[in-house]
Amino acid sequence: MKVLIVGGGGREHALAWKLSRSPRVKKIFCAPGNAGIAELAECVNINAENVPAILDLARQHKFDLTVVGPEAPLVAGLVDAMEKEGFPVFGPRQRAAEIEGSKVLAKEIMQKYSIPTARHAVFEDAEAAQEYIKKTGAPCVIKADGLAAGKGVIVAEDEQTALSAVHYIMKQRAFGAAGNRVVVEECLRGEEASMLAFTDGENVVPMIPAQDHKQVYDNDCGPNTGGMGAYAPAPVITPELRQEVVDKILIPTVRGLAAEDRPYRGVLYAGLMITDRGPQVLEFNARFGDPEAQPIMMMLQSDLVDVIEALLAGELNKINIGWNDGASVCVVLTSQGYPGEYRKGEIISGLDNLPENVVAFHSGTALKGNRVVTAGGRVIGITARAASIPEAIELAYQGVSKVHFNDMHYRKDIGKKALAR
């Protein structure tokens, strides 16, 4: 079959890698892709958010399957548009994807269906939000309602930071219309984990739990990023906790969305804080995580095409989704300065020198002549699979030591929390 992947980051490279290993896949296209994806797929220079152009591409090639990676095209209604023309497509429709596209909606649904989450209040007015913060105090968390490329959440340890965050989002309009409303939320303490599930709207099949590393520096210091590394399975989610997340969070959310006339089909991602009062939802995403997808795809034993096909048929209950033994660890190499300003165009070397069972999933890379160069903040995710987490960490960092570019930065403590368990 002929498959189109929409997106061009590390997650999409991991999806392309996994799909390329399916005996059922003959050819992969990717819009827009990157230098790594180009080794597995024909990259088409169309932005992932350009719904009309992707639709045109689908009309031209009649893909047997389209897999949508990032949130922006989901929230923009790409899946609805493709379905309307009869193209098989994997991802939630617009109304369902709003669980990620609007934090206010996500909180309303969680409240209505008793899904454990932080206490919160919603404001359409900066002064009212600031009054509330002065009354309730810090720490608290300020969230822009809409999509903000992972930057719309500010964890404020003191009142002044919280007040400034409201000003930044609502008055300076740092994220544009995404900041028309803010959520002010109770600050939760604990260890974070990501639980992703495949769902056909009825059946919910959890994947192995993963853990991201959001902050840019070791020991969770510095500003939040899209994710500096990830591993799976994450031992913080014990088998008991995993069942609790399925029963109290994932299933009620899928049922709730259906009851709200937002039937959900695709990957549902619950970002969790494991607190003293149990797992609490920090956010929902309507897609695979990045970088969580990298270790998860390395650990998925089943053919991803079989899983997607069953899901689209509403028959997830009829298949067994298998996972490899052991563990996988991904260390993200970034451009110095990310998540702020950084340079692009640096030559990357050593990528053909990686140990066995290590894959370099490209995020922000491009081809310049025949050289692979940096083209984004997150550049490459060096991802290893081994018999255990300690071995996978060791192997991933062996891989990292082979790769070089000017201004390369990475965290040296990916997986450390798992080792402590």
> Can residue 328 be called a binding residue for ligand GLY (CB under 6 A)?
no
The secondary structure element, H or E, covering residue 99 is helix 94-101
x-or-dash pattern for ligand GLY, window 251-290, by CB under 6 A? ----------------------------------x---xx
Task: Give the pair of three-digit tokens for residue 151.
Answer: 């930057």
- Among ligand AMP, ligand GLY, none, partner that 256 touches (CB below 5 to 8 angstroms by kind): none
Q: Please classify residue 326 by burial: count the beta carbons closer than 10 Å to its beta carbon, then call 0-12 exposed, 13-18 middle and 19+ buried.
A: middle
> Can residue 334 be called a binding residue for ligand GLY (CB under 6 A)?
no
**How far, in Å, CA of 344 to CA of 364, rounded?**
9
The secondary structure element, H or E, covering residue 96 is helix 94-101
CB–CB of 397/355 below 8 Å? no
Q: Report which residue's Cβ sits closest to ligand AMP.
A: 283
Q: Which of 132, 155, 113, 385 is nearest to 251 (CA)?
A: 113
Near ligand AMP in 149-168, by CB under 6 A: 153, 155
> Can residue 27 be called a binding residue for ligand AMP (CB under 6 A)?
no
Q: Which stretch binds ligand AMP (CB under 6 A): 186-194, 240-248, 259-267, 397-405?
A: 186-194
Q: Cα 365–332–273 angle (5° rounding)?
A: 130
CB–CB of 329/417 below 8 Å? no
Nearer to ligand GLY, 43 or 196 (CB): 196
> Can residue 188 be called a binding residue for ligand AMP (CB under 6 A)?
yes
CB–CB of 281/272 below 8 Å? yes
> Can residue 212 be called a binding residue for ligand GLY (CB under 6 A)?
yes
Give the nearest distance from C-beta 7 to ligand GLY in angstroms.
12
Nearer to ligand GLY, 299 or 372 (CB): 299
User: Which member of 141, 204, 208, 354 binds ligand AMP (CB under 6 A)?
Assistant: 141
Nearer to ligand GLY, 97 or 373 (CB): 97
Give the nearest distance from C-beta 352 to ligand GLY in angstroms.
28
Q: Cα 18–147–143 angle (5° rounding)?
A: 120
Give the nearest distance from C-beta 264 to ligand GLY in angstroms.
17
Torsion of CA 4, 10, 15, 21, to 10 degrees: 110
> Can residue 224 be called a binding residue for ligand AMP (CB under 6 A)?
yes
- Among ligand GLY, ligand AMP, none, partner that 292 touches (CB below 5 to 8 angstroms by kind): ligand GLY
Residues in CB range of 137: below 8 A, 6 or more apart: 159
Q: Which of 91, 32, 93, 81 is nearest to 56 (CA)?
A: 81
Give the nearest distance from C-beta 390 to ligand AMP in angstroms.
25
Near ligand GLY in 290-309, by CB under 6 A: 290, 292
- Among ligand GLY, ligand AMP, none, partner that 118 touches (CB below 5 to 8 angstroms by kind): ligand AMP
Place of tokens 């009620």: 252
357's torsion region: left (phi>0), alpha (psi -120 to 50) or beta?
left
- Among ligand AMP, ligand GLY, none, partner that 244 touches (CB below 5 to 8 angstroms by kind): none
Residues in CB range of 413: below 8 A, 6 or more apart: 213, 218, 219
Amino acid in position 208? I
Torsion of CA 289, 295, 300, 305, to 10 degrees: 50
Q: Is 143 helix (H, G, I), strand (E, B) or coil?
A: strand
Give the nearest distance from C-beta 384 to ligand AMP in angstroms.
24
x-or-dash pattern for ligand GLY, window 214-253, by CB under 6 A? ------------xx--------------------------
CB neighbours of residue 392 within 10 Å: 29
Q: Which of 21, 69, 93, 30 is nearest to 292 (CA)?
A: 69
- Among ligand AMP, ligand GLY, none, partner that 187 touches (CB below 5 to 8 angstroms by kind): ligand AMP
Task: Give the pair of three-digit tokens for residue 377.
Answer: 């903040």
Near ligand AMP in 278-307, by CB under 6 A: 282-283
> Can residue 214 be called a binding residue for ligand AMP (CB under 6 A)?
yes
> Can residue 199 be called a binding residue for ligand GLY (CB under 6 A)?
no
* Interacting residues toward ligand AMP by CB under 6 A: 118, 141, 143, 153, 155, 185-188, 192, 214, 224, 271, 282-283
Positions that interact with ligand GLY (CB under 6 A): 212, 226-227, 285, 289-290, 292
